[in-house]
Each structure stands twice: as C-alpha cells, then as structure tokens.
Amino acid sequence: MPGPFSQKEIVLGVTGSIAAYKACDIASRLVEAGANVIPVLTRSAQEFVGPVSFEAITGNHAITALFERLQNPEIEHIAVARRAHLFLIAPASANILAKAAHGIADDWLSTTLLATRAPILFAPAMNTQMYLHPATQANIEILRARGCSFAGPASGTLACGEVGPGRLIETSAILEAAGVLLSEQKDLAGKRVLITSGATHEPLDPVRFLGNRSSGKMGRALALEALRRGADVTVVSGPAQAPLPHAAEVVRVKTALDMLEAVQSRVDTVDVFIAAAAVADYRVDAPAPSKHKHTGASLQLTLSPNPDIAAWVGQHKRPGQVSVGFAAETDDLLNHAGAKLAAKNLDLIVANSVGGAHCAFGADSVLAWLLTPGNPPEPLDLISKEDLTQRIFDKVALLLQS
Ligand code: CTP
C-alpha cells in the first residue's frame, strides 16, 4: 500500500548549521519512502555540506542560488512553490526562522517559502541561547500561528558544548511529522484514540520482573496511522523498545494494574480504544521488598490473575465508542479470536497467527484476519504492520459511522 511519501514532491531546505550533514540522512530516508526530493542549500549550508551529496542521494539538481532559474525552468521558484507537497526545512537555523516569520525574501529558499501554499515543517537546530532568545521564540510563535509546523528541537549536548534545547531532532521524528502533514486521508479528524501498547512488567522483587517480548511496534504503527488520519492520540505504554511518535501523548506504565488505572481514567473521553498491549496474564502476589538471594533452594511464587483491560473497557463502553483488540494465537486462531471478540465485547479483533514462521513478536509483518461481530473473518494474508494499521483504521472509520 502506498505510504504518505509515495509520489510526493518535497523541498528539503538545508540551512547553515553544524547539523546540516544530517540532512543527507533525511533526504535518503525520504527517497527510500518514495518521495521526490528537491534539495535546496542556502549559502551558509554550503559552508557545512556540498550539493554533490544531495544530488547523488536524491537524483535531483541541488538548488544553491536564486538566479539558477534563468538556466533551469524546472526549478524556477514559483513553479516549485506550486508543485511541492511539503517544504521541510531541516536543519532550520535561527536566521531562516526570522526571515520566514518576517517575510524576508533574499535567496531561493526564503523567496520560495513566501510563494508556496504547501505545508511547511521546520526542524530547528541552533545554539541553546539562540533558540531560547525571545526573538527566536517570538518568530516561532508567529510561524506557528500562521500554520507552520515544528519537529523538535531535541535537548542535549550541542556542538558548541552547551547543554539544552537546540539539537536537530532525530530523523525518524522528522519523518513522522512530515508523514502526518502529507497524509491526505483525514477521516479521524476530531476523534480521540487511546491505545495500549508494549509489554507489562510484573515485579518479583525490586530488580526482577515477569514480562514478555512485545516490541511495541504495533502500538507505534497504530499511533502513527491515527495521527496521520487526524486523530488526537494517547498511548498508554508498558515497557517496549519501539519509540512512540512525538505527536502522541504518551503515558508510561510498568504493570497491568497501572495500565488499567491509566486506561480507566482516560477512556471516557475517547472515541476509539485499541488494546495492542501484551498484558501479562498474571502478577506475583507479594513481590519481595528486597532482592531474592540465590540460596540454591527452589523458589515458589504465587501468581494472581491480572485484570483484563480490554474486557473492562468492553463492559463500560459508551454507545458509539469503538473498541478494538488483538488475538495472537498459535492454534485454532479464528475460533479463539472469535471467542475473545465476544468475551471482551469488542467491535473488531485483529487475529494474528504466531505459530511457527509467523511469530508476531518483534516481526515487521504478520499473518492476519479482521473479525467483526456477525460477519465472516476477512483474511489479510501476510501484511506489514504499517499496512495492517491502515486496514484496521479503514474498518474503525466505518464502525464510527455506523
Ligand atoms: N488484553 C488486555 N488485558 C489483559 C489481557 C489481554 O487488555 N489482561 C487485551 C490484549 O491487549 C489484546 C486482547 O486482550 O487486545 C487479547 O489478548 P491475549 O493476550 O491474546 O488474550 P488473553 O485474553 O490474555 O487470552 P490468552 O492469553 O488465554 O490467549
């Protein structure tokens, strides 16, 4: 299935910053995702990086001067301003923010920013004091009020040795934000989506726990797709490796009991609840207050069942609210999934086979079916987690209308 970058023309504006070299990675990831990238290097950017790298990565001429248009009508700034689907300025210096905020047009990039109606995304990178300066902050406010978007900056140690906000945010976060802006399908605009994700860790003692191998990739993919479609997204996440989208509200929890509490206090206000977490079925009755010692003797643990979060939501669902669950099964997949659909009062269950070669934990693709009450299972075959999330939200959008 085509993603949000497929066949999209993106102007990548690179401005003067020590982080300019990172724009090569951004360009390369955009090209990989199917975008046609037009690189633009300001004069200061060219002090840090050269056009040749960008030309090799994108296959397009890198624009370096305003008056190139005389030789090359393809990159004439008004033509590009009209054609582009997105302007991504990464890294964005204090100077380009100031020029864009005040309508100064003195080079190709600033001139074209004035001429475009495409969404504009800035990924700022600069010295912390420059970023925090009231002039820069005021410029950012002006640009936000005008509808421009921002990804980052991140905080950390900067090239100048200072510690604070000003680092170019990581490429994946820039791509996430760009994907949200490029996505044309906004059928979840105004909807609130709550997702549980990751594993739960049930403590045995202060340093050990019972857990599972959930990567959190499905929760991440679901959150991204819901954001792209215009929803407000909250993720209640147990421990997991996959990073969650910056635009989502993230509530971190460790145990099933914490996850239940976090869901109970938020679910009333949402339109869609998706249980994607691999919740531990049991917790240790009385976790030891200090570390278990290795005595060589056998150790007996008493486990108590954890509450079923999806079932709790099913019991307390408002009319019109849609709840979605997952069933990862090794055998008798459709029967087990159908039973869970009914027992948890779900509107949709995604059944995936975790037997043999098709282990869903940590994998990028799953063998899946969609089940809704009273309808035959819909097979999706082997599908990537990204494509699966599109199919899930297609169904959720229909369920919200019914
Ligand atoms: N789930 C939940 N809370 C639990 C257990 C499961 O919210 N305590 C949700 C999962 O997020 C998933 C669905 O219920 O959406 C099914 O989870 P799964 O672990 O497959 O099923 P269980 O009901 O725990 O049944 P079993 O482990 O016996 O297969």
- 203-247 confidence digits (pLDDT tens): 999 999 999 989 999 999 999 999 999 999 999 999 999 999 989
**pLDDT computed for residue 67 by the predictor:** 64
Q: Give the contacts of 66 (CB within 8 A, at least 6 positions apart).
A: 77, 107, 108, 111
Residue 360 has pLDDT above 60, yes or no: no
pLDDT at 337 over 60: yes
pLDDT attached to residue 160:
74
- C-alpha distances out from residue 375 to 296, 338, 347, 349, Å: 55, 10, 11, 12
**How far, in Å, is the centroid of ligand 1 from the Cα of 82?**
49
Helix H or strand E encompassing 333: helix 333-343
Q: How far is the CA of 310 from the centre of ligand 1 (A)?
A: 7
Residue 291 to residues 77, 205, 284: CA-CA distances in angstroms?
66, 5, 14
Ligand 1: distance of its center to the CA of 95 in Å?
52
Position 75 scores a pLDDT of 64
Q: For the whole model, what pTM was predicted? A: 0.85
The pLDDT of residue 199 is 97
DSSP 338: H
Flag whether pLDDT at 362 surpasses 60. no
Rounded Cα distance, 176 and 264, in Å = 28
Ligand 1, atom nearest to 326 Cα: 15
Per-residue pLDDT averaged across 58-69, rounded?
Answer: 81
Q: What is the 360 CA–ligand 1 centroid distance (Å)?
A: 14
- The mean per-residue pLDDT over the stretch 174-178 comes to 95
pLDDT at residue 68 greater than cutoff 80: no
Query: Residue 1 pLDDT > 80, yes or no?
Result: no
Distance (Å) from CA 343 to ligand 1 centroid: 11
Mean pLDDT, range 344-352, rounded to an integer: 96
Amino acid identity of residue 14, one-letter, is V
Per the CB < 8 A criterion, the answer to whether 368 and 351 are in contact is: yes
* Ligand 1: nearest atom to the Cα of 310: 7
Name the residue of 308, 347, 370 to mutate for ligand 1: max ligand atoms within 8 A of Cβ.
308
Catalytic residue, chosen from 24, 148, 160, 359, is: 160
Rounded to 5°, the CA angle 148-152-155 comes to 155
Ligand 1 atom 27: the closest Cα is on which residue? 281
Closest protein CA for atom 24 of ligand 1? 281
- Residue 278 Cα: closest atom of ligand 1: 11
> Is position 24 annotated as part of the catalytic site?
no
Q: How confident is the model at residue 105 (pLDDT cuts 50, 70, 90)?
A: very high
Contacts for 233 with CB less than 8 Å, ≥ 6 apart? 192, 193, 195, 223, 226, 227, 245, 247, 248, 249
Ligand 1 nearest atom to the CA of residue 280, by list position: 8
State in Å: Cα 151 to ligand 1 middle: 35
Nearest residue by C-alpha to atom 17 in ligand 1: 327
At residue 74, the pLDDT reads: 65
pLDDT of residue 163: 83
In three state form, how does the secondary structure of 284-332 look? Answer: ECCCCCCCCCCCCCCCCCCEEECCCHHHHHHHCCCCCCEEEEEEEECCC
Q: How far apart are CA 98 and CA 119, in angstroms?
A: 18
Q: Which residue is closest in CA terms to ligand 1's atom 14?
A: 310
118, containing H or E segment: none
Ligand 1 is surrounded, with C-beta below 6 A, by 196, 256, 275-277, 279, 281, 306, 308-310, 325-328, 340, 344
Spatial separation of the C-alpha atoms in residues 263 and 251, rounded to whole Å: 10
Share of the chain above pLDDT 70, in %: 95
What pLDDT shows up at residue 357? 59
Question: pLDDT category, 184, cuts 50, 70, 90?
Answer: confident
Query: In which band, very low, low, confident or very high, does the pLDDT at 358 lie, cut at 50, 70 and 90?
Result: low
Helical segments of 19-115, H only? 22-32, 51-58, 77-83, 94-102, 108-115
Closest atom of ligand 1 to 349 CA is 15
pLDDT band at 141 (very low <50, low <70, confident <90, very high): very high
Read off the pLDDT of residues 283-330 as tens digits, 9 standing for 90 and up.
999 999 998 888 888 988 999 999 999 999 999 999 999 999 999 888
